[in-house]
Amino acid sequence: MSRYVIQHTPVWQALIRHHREAADWHMRDLFARQPDRFARFSLTAAGLRLDYSKNRINEETIALLCQLAQAARLPQQMQAMRAGAPINYSEQRAALHVALRHPEQEGYTVVGQAVMPQVHAVREQMRVLVDAVRAGQWRGYGGATITDVVNIGIGGSDLGPRMVVEALQAPEAPGPRVHFLSNIDPEQLHRVLSGLNPARTLFIVVSKSFTTLETRLNAEAARTWLLAAAPDESAIAQHFVAVSSNLTAVQAFGIAPAQTFAMWDWVGGRYSVWSAVGLSVALAIGMDAFDAFLAGGHAMDDHFFNAPLAENMPVLLGLMGIWYNTFFKAHTHAVMPYVHGLRSLPAHLQQLDMESNGKRIGSHGERLGFDTGPIIWGDVGVNVQHAFFQLLHQGTRLIPADFIVCVNSLHEHGLHQDHLFANGVAQTEALMRGKTREEARLELQQSGVDDATAQRLLPHKVFPGNQPSNTLLLDALTPAALGALLALYEHKVFVQGVIWGINSFDQWGVEYGKQLAQAVMAELQGQGEGEHDASTQGLLAWHRQLRQS
């Protein structure tokens, strides 16, 4: 196979030349010259609407970026994903999270083996547990019904389910309260467990590997807490279930196979909320709503696999990102959901994007000569406007952003929802248009300040604008809409990984810190002294001084 280096393709060079022109464009002028710009650069898919007209692009940009995607063999890689090929090549694994939301009994295989029967069997197993808990038929020791569920997991075994539960569980709806225990900070353990009644609490230990230290420590602490109240060890069967691909380790921990929900090595942790990793979601919202969430994801998959590149929502979002990140050298990408339910979406996307594409080595082991995964950050609107938006409006950096807005709220209250929408959309307009010197001068004159003051204030009142944004518009935050939105971002990340020529599905970088933490921990426990730099040594010495035994 010849070595593919995207940087050496003619279309990459063409994009560099095109970028030199585009760097001088102002989006105000693009809109003025092209009144039908919205119609040209917006589309609908899987119930979501995307307006990407407020970007520093024209038709040529899109055509060139689509050629880049072709040069990177994106269509072939999409087929490889679908075929269950080992696209996670450093671990020789498929990345087949799309199978988890596939409705039919067949359609996906891994190494010639059909996976849909296993996927559906686990979904049925989930349904039995979810229905029993929600109907009050699943009982804790002493015969009490379950009122609280604690999801014990970290990373992909926490962020996805936590975000979806926050988004979709209405406080007044029936179903258990769901809590999340991820960190090994004893404070979190204390806060989650205090106030819970052991007789009415169900723990879900979620760990694909079942070797993750944080999760194991928390699961052990939960077991100790339960057994301090329960009559005997038989209570574990009523209060603990596990989700894992390491069934042997689950059994060794003391959770029986009947209480264990399988997942597979062809699903990455950050892509796993669609599997039994989403059990806390299903318990919170019910299995029918969980099915609707899967259906939304599947509708986006259908679109992704079938739409032409230039009309393909995940592809276009991915290409916009490549345009800014690699050619404009924007280092970050902001995500601003103007939807309270999506307040944890930026954290989920941080893991999804940064753990997937935070890579510097290409598929042949070569060091890539361009920037890859951006720093993902953001928070919920309108709060963001009163927090960090100043920097977007008048700072020195180019910061592309996604705005996510809903037209309707599931809990209407006066004009709240319209104000929320108005603010989100107005920000995209302000960021795009900016405020010229002339506009600022006129405003100052009209405000009645004297000329000298106006002159002094003028530079501070100018907004450069030209900050790009995508607006994703949802009718309302329903399970199906959220499913489509998450699948959209998953595919966007994949598209970018393919174009940069990296493996989006491994995460070797997180291992090193874990190894060193074990060595430091051994020292804290007085088991020898390791060789450290002066800073680490100093910190350990401070720890010895301050640690209360």
**DSSP bridge pairs for 403:** 336, 471
How many binding residues for ligand F6P (CB under 6 A)? 14
Question: Does a cis peptide bond (omega within 30 degrees of 0) precede residue 335?
Answer: no
Residue nearer to ligand F6P on the CB measure, 219 or 342:
219
Q: Which residue is associated with the tokens 């944890």? A: 344
CB-nearer residue toward ligand F6P: 512 or 533: 512
Task: Give the active site residue among 331, 514, 529, 543.
Answer: 514
Secondary structure (3-state) at 141: helix
Amino acid making up residue 407: V
List the one residue from 207, 238, 385, 469 that touches ligand F6P (CB under 6 A): 207
Q: For the CA atoms of the chain, what is the radius of gyration?
A: 26
Quote the tokens at residue 258: 């009947």
User: Which residue, 154 or 189, is less far from ligand F6P as judged by CB?
Assistant: 154
503 belongs to the binding site for ligand F6P (CB under 6 A): no
Instruction: Report if residue 156 touches ligand F6P, rule: CB under 6 A.
Output: yes
Least CB distance to ligand F6P at residue 381 (A) = 28
Stretch that binds ligand F6P, among 153-161, 301-309, 433-441, 519-527 (CB under 6 A): 153-161
d(CA 155, CA 130): 23
Judged by CB under 6 A, the residue of 65, 154, 401, 405 near ligand F6P is 154
Query: Of 55 and 215, which CB lies nearer to ligand F6P in the complex structure?
Result: 215
Any contact of residue 278 with ligand F6P (CB under 6 A)? no
**Cβ distance to ligand F6P smaller for residue 145 or 183:** 183
How far apart are CB 535 and ligand F6P at their closest, in Å?
A: 24
Nearer to ligand F6P among residue 53 and residue 88 (C-beta): 88
Q: Which residues contact 184 (CB under 8 A, 6 or more apart)?
A: 213, 214, 217, 218
| Residue 100 C-beta: closest distance to ligand F6P, Å | 15
Minimum Å distance from CB 193 to ligand F6P? 20
By CB under 6 A, residue 155 contacts ligand F6P: yes
Catalytic, 355? Answer yes
497 lines the binding site for ligand F6P (CB under 6 A)? no
Query: Which residues, in sequence order, are CB contacts of 61 under 8 Å at separation 6+?
Result: 18, 22, 323
CB 216 → ligand F6P: shortest distance, Å? 9
User: According to the binding rule CB under 6 A, does residue 204 interact with ligand F6P?
Assistant: no
Q: Which residues contact 281 (CB under 8 A, 6 or more apart)?
A: 161, 164, 165, 168, 273, 290, 293
Query: Rounded distance, CA 371 to CA 160, Å?
Result: 27
Task: Give the three-state DSSP class for 339.
Answer: coil
Closest CA to 9 of 52, 79, 73: 73
Cβ–Cβ < 8 Å for 331, 374: yes
Measured CA distances, 343 to 347, 382, 409 (Å): 8, 11, 15
Among 53, 88, 212, 372, binds ligand F6P (CB under 6 A): 212
Nearer to ligand F6P, 214 or 291 (CB): 214
Q: Provide the token pair at 433.
A: 């248009």
Q: Distance (Å, rounded) from C-alpha 506 to C-alpha 515?
A: 17
Closest contact distance (angstroms) between CB of 386 and ligand F6P is 32
Catalytic residue among 187, 386, 413, 438: 386
- Do the Cβ atoms of 239 and 141 come closer than 8 Å? yes
CA distance 21 to 24: 6
Site string for ligand F6P, 423-442 (x = CB under 6 A): --------------------
Angle between helices 479-500 and 287-306 (to 10 degrees): 40
**Segment interacting with ligand F6P, rule: CB under 6 A, options 202-210, 323-331, 457-465, 515-523:** 202-210
Residues 150, 179 contacting (CB under 8 angstroms): yes
270 binds ligand F6P, rule: CB under 6 A: yes
- Which CB, 37 or 348, lies closer to ligand F6P? 348
Query: Does residue 218 touch ligand F6P according to CB under 6 A?
Result: no
Neighbouring-strand partners of residue 149: 178, 202
Pairing state of beta strands 42-45 and 48-51? antiparallel
Question: Rounded distance, CA 429 to CA 437, Å?
Answer: 17
Does 21 qualify as catalytic in the annotation? no
Residue identified by tokens 């003028």 is: 458
Residue type, 489: Y
By three-state DSSP, how is residue 491 classified?
helix
* Catalytic residue from among 355, 359, 491, 492: 355
Q: Which is nearer to ligand F6P, 206 or 401 (CB)?
A: 206
Query: Does position 58 bind ligand F6P by CB under 6 A?
Result: no
Q: Nearer to ligand F6P by C-beta: 54 or 270?
A: 270
Return the residues of window 353-412 that contact ligand F6P according to CB under 6 A.
Answer: 355
| Residue 208 in contact with ligand F6P, rule: CB under 6 A | yes
Q: Smallest gap, in angstroms, from Cβ of residue 507 to ligand F6P? A: 5
Report which residue type is found at 36: D
Cα 153 to Cα 502: distance, rounded to the nearest angstrom: 27
Bridge partners (DSSP) listed for residue 114: 109
Query: Residue 510 interacts with ligand F6P (CB under 6 A)?
Result: yes
Binding span for ligand F6P by CB under 6 A among 186-194, 209-217, 284-292, 423-431: 209-217
Any catalytic annotation for residue 331?
Answer: no
Which residues contact ligand F6P (rule: CB under 6 A)?
A: 154-157, 207-209, 212, 215, 269-270, 355, 507, 510
Query: Which amino acids are annotated catalytic?
Result: 355, 386, 514
